[in-house]
Chain A
Amino acid sequence: MILASLFCALLAAAPPDEAPVSGDCSADPAALVAEAAALLAASGPEPSAEALSAARRLIRSARRADASPDLALEAADLAFAAGDPEEGGDLLAAAADAGPARLSPAELLLLGRRAVERRRWREAIARYRELAKSLAAREQAADWIPRRVRELELEEEAEAIAVPSSGPSVEARLALADGKRALAAGRLREAREGLRTALQLEPSYVEALLALAALEARAGRSGAALKACREALAIEPERVETLTLLANLLWAEPDRVAKEESLVMLDRAVLLRPDLRSLLRLSANRWAEYGDASKAQERLDRYLTRATAKERDDTAALREALLRRTKAPETSPTPAAPPFDEPASAAIDLWRKAQVYAARGDAASLAAALALLDEAERLDPAFAQAPALAAAIHERRSEWKDAEEALHRAVRADPTRSTTYETLARVLERDPARAGEAAAAWIQAEQAGSTEALFHLASSAERAGRDADALGLYRRYRDEAPAGLNAADADAAIQRLDRRRSIGVLIVALAFGLLLCGVAVALYRAKTGLTFEEWLSENPGRAPEARRIVGRLRHEALKHGGLLLADGADRIETGEAATRQATAELLVARLYGGEGSRGLVAEAEDALTALSALARADGARLNLRHLDPVFSSLLRGVRGLRRARRSLGRVARSGSSQPIHARLAARLLRSAAQSFQLASGAEIERSVDRALALPVRLDALRALLARIAVESDRTVPTLETTGEDLPTVRICASDWETLWRNLFGNALSAGRLALSAAKRRDAVTGEARLTIVLADDIPRALTADEVRARTPDRGLGVVVEILRRNEGTIDVIAAPAAGFTKGIRIELPIVESA
């Protein structure tokens, strides 16, 4: 081969300009090659430029006519000899493709180097491997070649990694924000425009691509969604959000290949985020659905290593189903990463290689990756991906402090990358004491466009009890990432919070309704009902009973209470400690009860309760508190005494230790005393008297006698009456009529009756009383004891009972005048106060 002798000319000669050759029109390739060889041979060891040009023309013509390897190899020699290394290389490559054994080691080495120069890593690797075989066949040393091949493989893998974004511009971020807002509001057309704008401004804007994928998924354009998602993954291969979104989109595809790829994506996400146990469970479910029980089982087992009891219960069905299944053949599809032919800076080259090392995961590779990243950071401090990847490696090695420092460097280099903040937040979350910093990092991530941050912020808001905030954030997350990492959890949270809010609204509405009802009832009760006097005027028959209750009330509250309160208050406020304590002790015992005493307050309240119960028996409701002018003050006084109990008790126990209690007790006691003074007992008594006041009219009694006689079909006895200007007695009209019906009924057999009335004062009580004597001529004798012994169901027994109830008396006296046999004397109190 003449190639070896021409290597020097090949490498040294500059490509000359082509010149026309006379014989290049021959149709026989072999002849053309021969002609070229002859031309070169004739030109001597250093052919002229014209000769070289003519030889190249002949060779090309020959190649066009015959593409056989032998000719290509021969033509390659001549091309090198003619000063066209490109042509020579192409011809050599063509010959090698047909059969590498035809090429010498030197030719293979040349082709390998040429491929490296052109960054055609795969071809270069192939050439070096062929060279290794060729040298081995010649028993020549080739131990350097495997190392070179590994370097080239690294270059190839690194080349496959896309050039990272240098951070979106403000315009792009604004356009993304517009797009997201429109997406959240369901305005898909407008959202698409915003996202397109963002991507036009920044084609490698991952957040925009993810949002676009979400939009397209929602619009049902799965192809477009997948495309956007794949682009995002190519730009940022370790972004879990992208991986899960792509996994979900692929899983929704009908074909099995897409599902296989989906499972791979999910497994990658699990590897990147082992802390997200929900991913493991999802992976287990999907592998099971896919039909690979062993892989599903393996993932489920990992999930269950840290599962709670509830999580175990939730996965029990899957576990049992997997145990029943026979092991299915395993599949492990590995989709090829898309090629990327963009030139990279030195820092990016280093970062790419570091990515490859990081992906290998062994300790040596991780250390090598960190070294490369250090160098990348040194070369380009603004290249944020380098410290971000370094942080990921430190995280993997549990070097949290180093990871945090690397993330801070990444933030300084590019404050717009949401993933940096997300990772930083997750690192900070490991320390509960730094929850505040973690929360701030999540907020920054959200501001940088992270949808995962939305979910985290929503969860935090929910944990903090800010349900409204949480609901808004969950909704935003669901709108912006409908197929996102936590989409299912967000949906569940939204349902949960909606339900809770509905219950809350219902409870508030119910409470408000109850409150309104309560207010309405309270208002109704405050404005309706009867005063004490109104009740008695409607039911005067209750007055005698009410009079006794009121008497008790006056005695307890107004007389005893009034006597003690004002002076007691003075002594408690201004007295010496001992005096103060002694007074308080006395008042506590008197007001609130002690040995053998129920206390003034309880007695007064019992009396008021008894009055209300009495009114209720008539179907009436007393409104003493709000409507009654007298009892309202009395009730206020009783309430004041109740309020004074605690402070009075403290004074009684401690004397002077806390003067504030003494002052408070004194104030409340005085207030109660004033209320009792306003609640005039005399006015209460007058109310009763007014209800019972009955003017005595003798002519009315005469008419009643006549009526009773007619009703009994008897002759009306003669009735003589004496007395005028009779006073008003204290008895209700019905009692009065019943009384006289029984008295007259008992005397109808008389032929003559006499009725006389007179006022007098009771010698003992000083009370004014009206005495009425009914004399008759009935011969039957009657004594006072006989009358009082009658049963209270008829006749004089009824009279006795009525008089007893109305504080009256009955007696039998001797005949007041001639012609009469006896007289029945009744006496009733006269109303003076009314």
Chain B
Amino acid sequence: MTPRVVLVVEDGTEYVDAFRRLAAEGSEVELLHAPDAASARQILSGRRVDAIFLDVVFDRTPPEKLAGDRARGNDYLAQNQGFYVLADLAPLIASGVRVLLAHDFASHPARLAALQERVQGLEGVAESAGINQVMGRLLSRV
């Protein structure tokens, strides 16, 4: 059976480490890591990805590597980088790819709906979600 390929986009390695050590045991899953939008775009351009996990805050990423309009300011871009990465990758995301954004949309369902218009498989991650639950959703098919 072909393993599911999950791309984790985050400025550190916390999520990918946690997935690898706490949730991926015994699963047919291949974890890929991209630290910024450009790297993620490169991975997506080169190979099949079944699911994408996007962190939102990229405050450890060098400002020159942040995606988005500089007019918004680096701080704003770093705090919301996940959305910009999502926008950057949207054209490359095939249908059927599950995309989880590490943001709780419970108070902003309209915002999630607006984003889903661009990326159909997009979902938010509730703050109460555990790592196994997140991994389960990443491995499930859209």
Contact = CB atoms under 8 A, between A and B. Distances in A.
A766 B129 contact: no
Contacts, number: 99
Q: Which of B22, B104, B127, B130 has the most CB of A within 10 A?
A: B127
B111 A767 contact: yes
A590 B14 CA distance: 7
Given A682-B106, A764-B83, A564 B131 contact: yes
A586 B111 contact: no
Contacts of A768: 110-111
Interface in B66-107: 68, 71-73, 75-76, 79-80, 83-84, 86-87, 102, 104, 106-107
A784 B23 CA distance: 49
A598 to B, nearest CB: 11
A317 B12 CA distance: 81
Contacts of A686: 107
A503 interface: no
Interface in A553-567: 554-555, 558-560, 562-567
Contacts of B80: 765
Contacts of A554: 127
Contacts of B57: 551-552, 555
A567 B129 CA distance: 10
Interface in A534-571: 548, 551-552, 554-555, 558-560, 562-568, 571
B71 A766 contact: no
Contacts of B129: 562-563
A151 interface: no
A563 B56 CA distance: 14
A582 B107 contact: no
Nearest to B18: A564
Contacts of B110: 761, 768, 832
Given A548-B79, A563-B130, A766 B22 contact: no
Given A583-B22, A766-B115, A551 B79 contact: yes
A643 B5 CA distance: 38
Most buried by B among A567, A682, A685: A567
A766 B111 contact: yes
A807 B127 contact: no
Interface string A766-778: 1110000000000
B27 interface: no
Given A567-B130, A586-B18, A765 B71 contact: no
Nearest to B109: A832
A548 B75 contact: yes
B31 interface: no
A673 to B, nearest CB: 8
Interface in B108-130: 108, 110-112, 114-115, 118, 125, 127-130
A682 B14 CA distance: 23
Given A555-B57, A833-B107, A766 B127 contact: no
Interface string B2-15: 00000000001011
Contacts of A579: 25
B134 interface: yes
A807 B104 CA distance: 19
Contacts of B45: none
Interface in A585-621: 586, 590, 597
B105 to A, nearest CB: 9
B133 to A, nearest CB: 8
Nearest to B75: A548
Given A562-B129, A597-B12, A765-B80, A682 B107 contact: yes
B132 interface: yes
B108 A832 contact: yes
A805 B76 CA distance: 9
A788 interface: yes
B18 A766 contact: no
Q: How large, as a class, is the contact surface on chain A?
A: 35 or more
Given A554-B127, A763-B87, A563 B134 contact: yes
Interface of A is mostly: helix
A563 B131 contact: yes
A809 to B, nearest CB: 7
B83 A807 contact: no
A821 interface: no
Contacts of B86: 764
A766 B112 contact: yes
B87 A582 contact: no
B107 A567 contact: no
A788 B70 CA distance: 11
A562 B15 CA distance: 12
B28 interface: no
B47 interface: no
Nearest to A555: B57
Nearest to A583: B22
Contacts of B18: 563-564, 586, 590
A685 B83 CA distance: 18
Nearest to A833: B107
Interface in A169-220: none
Contacts of A682: 104, 106-107, 127
B21 A764 contact: no
B30 interface: no
Contact of B21 (A566, A583, A784, A832): A583
A764 B87 contact: yes
A761 B118 CA distance: 13
Interface string A679-691: 0111001100000
A365 interface: no
A653 interface: no
Contacts of A807: 76
A303 B74 CA distance: 89
B127 A559 contact: yes
B114 A566 contact: no
Contacts of A564: 18, 22, 130-131
Given A765-B80, A788-B71, A832-B107, A586 B21 contact: yes
A818 to B, nearest CB: 29
B91 to A, nearest CB: 13
Contacts of A104: none
Interface in A663-717: 676-677, 680-682, 685-686
Contacts of A499: none
Nearest to B131: A567
Given A555-B56, A685-B107, A766-B83, 14 more contacts: A548-B79, A551-B57, A559-B104, A566-B130, A567-B23, A567-B130, A568-B131, A571-B22, A681-B104, A761-B114, A764-B87, A766-B114, A767-B111, A788-B71
Minimum-distance CB pairs A-B, first 7: A833-B107, A766-B114, A766-B111, A766-B115, A765-B83, A567-B130, A764-B87
Interface of B: 12, 14-15, 17-18, 21-23, 25, 56-57, 59, 68, 71-73, 75-76, 79-80, 83-84, 86-87, 102, 104, 106-108, 110-112, 114-115, 118, 125, 127-132, 134
23 contacts: A555-B57, A560-B14, A562-B127, A563-B130, A566-B130, A567-B132, A568-B131, A583-B22, A586-B22, A590-B14, A676-B127, A680-B127, A682-B104, A682-B127, A763-B87, A764-B87, A765-B84, A766-B108, A766-B115, A768-B110, A832-B107, A832-B108, A832-B110
